[in-house]
Amino acid sequence: MHTDSQKSEFHKIRMARKKAQIDAAIARADQKKGLLLVITGNGKGKSTSAFGMVARALGHGMKVGVCQFIKSRTDTGEEAFFSQFPNCEWHVLGDGFTWDTQNREQDIATSKNGWQVAMKMLTDSSYDLVVLDELTYLLSYDYLDKDEVLNGLSQKPEMQHVVVTGRSAIAELRELADTVSEIKDEKHAYKSGIQAQKGIDL
Amino acid sequence: MHTDSQKSEFHKIRMARKKAQIDAAIARADQKKGLLLVITGNGKGKSTSAFGMVARALGHGMKVGVCQFIKSRTDTGEEAFFSQFPNCEWHVLGDGFTWDTQNREQDIATSKNGWQVAMKMLTDSSYDLVVLDELTYLLSYDYLDKDEVLNGLSQKPEMQHVVVTGRSAIAELRELADTVSEIKDEKHAYKSGIQAQKGIDL
């Protein structure tokens, strides 16, 4: 067994080594540019994470645009909260989930209209951060033309950050992205019979 | 090849089936209770996701408490943004990362003080949502007594939601949680030389 004083010394040595590695990584990471972030996977926290970035951005005085592609409800905590800020433009563009409408033509028309709203933001450098919430479904269901969407994202203003959320992001979108986080559902309260709750899911 | 009209019909049938499954799941999920959520993994979006829940909760008029255990900096977008709301109590309780202090005793003392602040919230049912940002490190580094922390979390008010973030959540914490999301780092801009940026990481 080591004494407390030895433990402290070992700790100091390990941490000094770690600090050197981290400082070197920070020194290497010297570029600034607008990012394309994709947050996907079947776990909880994808849209939620995007909304956390909205909060951060507003905290820095940045201008934010949000397009929610699937949701039709406008009583969510996130919308109630963020739409009060003049720097944050919020669009609920969906008709509900595809299993609610059960109408492919209607879903496609809704998606195309929504994409026009998104494209206005993606061609306007005054938006510092654009969130395209649940856009992935519109690609995996072929509601939008893949090339049109990928081109739109590729041609965004250089310093603009764009966050795309939703399950099953297609491979081309992952390739185009600077950062891809995959959220895995290790355990979910919903599956043990707990309903979606305000503040957490809504 | 199927005609467009056949495609629409197939779509309708598939979506009707899916809706029945989802409705049944919603009917099964009929409980309401305060949740313990753990957001862990090495990917981007853990704290960010917690801050998204803060926004949702504030949008519903809920009272929120946030403890940031590692961070010492107080110039983040999230703090600038959320600390302007009277319903949101925000504490930056860290001394920086352990590789900055390189001092185990100091880290332990800081952690213990921070935990006292957290315990005040975890024993006060007026907080609807409590975020314990980066608490996982304090357990995996043995800065806090594991049993003390797990007991504190177990005894939280029944309707209070608690979100714990950070890498490498220990097994006992995952077991205790209602929801565990693991965020996997599939691709990270930082690794290709892009620095942490306002609105996204800060």
Separation of alpha carbons B160 and A71, rounded Å:
27
Contact across the interface for A62 and B199, Cβ inside 8 Å: yes
* Residue B125 scores a pLDDT above 90: yes
Q: B29-64: per-residue pLDDT in tens?
A: 777 889 999 999 988 889 999 999 999 999 999 999
Find the residue in A nearest to B17 (Cα).
A99
Residues B187, A180: C-beta atoms closer than 8 Å: yes
- Report whether B89 contacts B64 (CB < 8 A): yes
Helix (H, G, I), strand (E, B) or coil at A32: coil
CA A143 – CA A72 distance, rounded (Å): 17
B91 pLDDT tier (thresholds 50, 70, 90): very high
Asked if B45 and A44 come within 8 Å (Cβ–Cβ), the reply is no
Q: What is the homologous superfamily of the domain B33-185 according to CATH?
A: P-loop containing nucleotide triphosphate hydrolases (3.40.50.300)
Q: Phi and psi of A107, rounded to 5°?
A: -60, -40
Record: contact A184-B82, CB cut-off 8 A? no
The vertex-A187 CA angle with A82 and A40, nearest 5°, equals: 50
Beta-bridge partner residues of B38: B164, B180
Chain A CB within 8 Å of residue B43 CB: yes
Inform me whether the pLDDT recorded for B68 exceeds 80: yes
The CATH number fitting domain A32-185, selected from 3.20.20.30, 1.10.1370.30, 3.10.50.40, 3.40.50.300: 3.40.50.300
CA neighbor of B38 nearest in space, from B186, B185, B162, B121: B162
Give the span between the Cα atoms of A121 and A107, in whole angstroms: 22
Inter-chain touch B56–A41, beta carbons under 8 Å: no
Nearest residue of B to residue A36, measured between CA atoms: B189
- Answer whether A180 sits within 8 Å of B197, measured CB to CB: no
CA distance B56 to B50: 10
Select from B22, B78, B177 the Cβ nearest to the Cβ of A55. Answer: B78
Optimal mutation site among A130, A143, A194, interface B, most CBs of chain B within 10 A: A194
β-pair type (B161-165, B36-40): parallel
| Residue B35 sits at the chain A interface (C-beta within 8 Å) | yes
Would you call B18 an interface residue with chain A, using a CB distance cutoff of 8 Å?
yes
Q: Is residue A105 within 8 angstroms of chain B, CB to CB?
A: yes
Give the position of tokens 């050197």: A20
The string of pLDDT tens digits covering residues B130-186 is 999 999 999 999 999 999 999 999 999 999 999 999 999 999 999 999 999 999 988
- The interface predicted TM-score (ipTM) is 0.78
How buried is residue B151: exposed, middle or buried, by Cβ count under 10 Å (0-12/13-18/19+)?
Answer: exposed
Q: Between B10 and B85, where is the model more confident?
A: B85
pLDDT above 90 covers a percentage of chain B that reads 59
- Pairing outcome for strands A179-187 and B179-187: antiparallel
Contact list, A190 vs chain B (CB under 8 Å) = 25, 29, 179
How much is the pLDDT for A24? 80
Nearest CA in chain B to A31: B194
For B9: left if phi > 0, alpha if psi spans -120 to 50, otherwise beta; the answer is alpha
Among B13, B38, B60, which would you mutate to test the A interface (most chain A Cβ atoms within 10 Å of its Cβ)?
B60
The radius of gyration of chain B's CA atoms, rounded to the nearest angstrom, is: 20
Distance of CA B91 to the CA centre of its chain: 15
In chain A, what residues touch B198 (CB-CB under 8 Å)? 56-57, 60, 62
Q: How many residues can be counted in chain B?
A: 202
| Selected residues 130-159 of chain A with any CB under 8 Å from a CB in chain B | none
Q: How far apart are CA B120 and CA A125, in angstroms?
A: 45
Q: A132 vs chain B: nearest CA distance in angstroms? A: 15
Q: Quote the CA–CA distance of A183 and A178 in Å, as a whole number.
A: 16
- Interchain proximity A128–B199, CB inside 8 Å: yes
Give the separation between CA B163 and CA B133, rounded to whole angstroms: 8
**Coil, helix or strand at residue A65:** strand
* Structure-token pair, residue A199: 């503040």
Residue A51 to residue B56, Cβ atoms within 8 A: yes
Query: Mean pLDDT, 10 residues at a time, over chain A (202 residues)?
Result: 80 83 77 92 91 94 95 81 93 80 87 96 98 95 94 96 96 94 87 82 83
Given a contact cutoff of 8 angstroms between Cβ atoms, the answer to whether B77 and B52 are in contact is no
Q: Which of A16, A18, A195 sits opposite B31 (nearest CB)?
A: A195
- Return the residue of B nearest to A64 by Cα: B199
| CA dist list (Å): A78 to A52, A56, A61, B1 | 10, 14, 18, 43
Q: How far is the C-alpha of A111 from the C-alpha of B92, rounded, in Å?
A: 42
